[in-house]
Amino acid sequence: MAAVDQLVTIGAVLVGALTTHLTNHSMERMRKHHELLTRWDDKKLNAYEGYIDKIRAGIFHAVQLYEHREGVHASSKSDHDLFTELSDASWQRGRAFERIMLLGGDHVVEAAHQLNVAAVEVDWQATGKIHGTLDEWRARNRAVFRAINEFHDAARQDLGVQGNVTGEQHPERDLLLPPPRSESGSVATGEAGLSQTGPALSGGEQLPS
């Protein structure tokens, strides 16, 4: 019986040691997995933030060029400089988009594709590649800001952030458009240029003019 008791004791020790080893191994794997997810989330956040920054920079330069070309707000810069700045902003946007393609989740990548389409149309009207009225210009700006919000929602979901920036809790906000003014400075009934109307981001942020 003594021998049996010794074997039972040894077996219990071995089982306990094995259980402890497996538990520690599992906890270590979970810790490393969490660290890996956190590291990739940090990289994703930087990529998403950088991409939106490049989108907004492109819109800024597109507005400057559009207003200059349409005679709404003359720029001190030459046509060549304005075109060059917008072209560079477009190139930077493309580089930022490549990071989205490498790091983004499925919904984020698709939202970025849609945002790119909307942003390119703003560029095209600013440069004259496509023609359009002032109303069509504003519509394209509205479209790109809606696409920005949709990208935000997709990014938040991918990063595990609760809530949305669109939906029932966030009614859709239009561009901020002050009333047009006549040459004498009084409010007129006609359309105002973008330097006067100041198309704005959803949420009240105004585009550069």
Q: Supply the pTM of this predicted model.
A: 0.69
Three-state secondary structure call for residue 81: helix
Domain 44-181+190-197 has CATH 1.10.3470: no
3-state SS of 9-64 is: HHHHHHHHHHHHHHHHHHHHHHHHHHHHHHHHHHHHHHHHHHHHHHHHHHHHHHHH
Tens of pLDDT, residue by residue over 42-75, are 999 999 999 999 999 999 999 999 999 998 888 9
More confident residue, 20 or 157: 157
Q: Which two tokens stand for residue 131?
A: 């023609």
Domain boundaries defined on the chain:
44-181+190-197
Grade residue 188 by pLDDT with cuts at 50, 70 and 90.
very low
pLDDT at 205 > cutoff 60? no
Residue 141, phi then psi, degrees to nearest 5 = -65, -40
Distance CA 97, CA 147 (A): 14
Residue 199, phi then psi, degrees to nearest 5 = -55, 135
pLDDT at 184 > cutoff 80? no
Tens of pLDDT, residue by residue over 127-160, are 999 999 999 999 999 999 999 999 999 999 999 9
